[in-house]
Amino acid sequence: MTNYNEVYVQMNDAYISINGEGISQGQPALYLLFQGCSLKCKHCTRRDFQHPDRGVKHSVHSLVTDNIIPTLLKYDGVRRIIFTGGDPTEQPNLENLIKYLIANFYKHQNLDRTKLHLEHKGIIKSSRGTDDYSVELNKLRMFTSVQFALKTPTMYKHGKESFLKSTFSLAQGLEDFNKNRKRDVSYKFIITCNEDIDHYLKVINRIPQIKLTPITIQPYFDVRNKLNTNIIKLMDRVHDLIINNRFGTSAKINVNINKVLCYPVKQSYKLNTSTKE
């Protein structure tokens, strides 16, 4: 039997805020931000999350019983937990955390309807250099919903042709994974340049069923600076593509304004770091 006092996850932060994107946009959620991501993308807005040894080490027991459950009991309107980071799937004890979390849900009235959402980094390693993504895709089965932030060659240093091949294989794997529609799978397309738009169009042309899946199209810009004219031109092109149904009828543009308007709400809940081990 697992001793949940002796298995750990590396956390960076946790807070309550309003979800600014995806299928649950506008709804409150408890965000769990995990430490560590091996991608180190060029346009990453959370560079301090990349290092796996930073942040706070929490036992699964303390994180669930001293932090998550009391927060959900206090805020009855929050019935969604968003796993983000960093990359939650790089946590060795992620499965133990979710198992213990679900077991504790059923000890409290109404918590069993809490949904677990994963914001995925957008790259999944295949098994032994092949196009077999089954091992990593199985990790997604633990979640009620998954938003997949599909990467492009401009964001991630990788050979262009092999990157395109892995993207097509992975996207196809996700669509196969989602055939039974028991989970809500959505995509996020981050736009930094025209090459990004061309890449996403190639993926959709190769796997047209993606157009049936909700897509959030998000321009990359720093909310602390003014929106530059290049991004405005890119959004003009995206606007035309959406009108002409190139991204599907579920596609929408999102500028994640909640990062500005809802920031004070985040302060209503913080991790209890006194119980970190």
pLDDT tens by residue, the chain, 277 residues: 899 999 999 998 888 888 877 778 788 899 999 999 887 777 777 778 888 888 889 999 999 999 999 989 888 889 999 999 888 988 999 999 999 999 999 888 788 889 999 988 777 665 555 555 666 677 778 888 888 888 787 776 554 555 555 566 666 666 666 665 556 788 888 888 898 899 889 888 887 878 888 888 888 765 544 555 677 788 889 889 999 999 888 887 776 544 444 444 444 455 564 444 4
pLDDT of 154 reads 76
pLDDT of 263 reads 44
The model carries a pTM of: 0.84
Can you tell me the distance from the alpha carbon of 144 to that of 23, in angstroms, rounded to the nearest whole number? Answer: 12
pLDDT of 48 reads 81
pLDDT of 42 reads 73
Can you tell me the distance from the alpha carbon of 218 to that of 23, in angstroms, rounded to the nearest whole number? Answer: 14
Can you tell me the distance from the alpha carbon of 203 to that of 34, in angstroms, rounded to the nearest whole number? Answer: 29
pLDDT of 19 reads 83
CATH of domain 8-275: 3.20.20.70
Q: Where are the domains of the chain?
A: 8-275
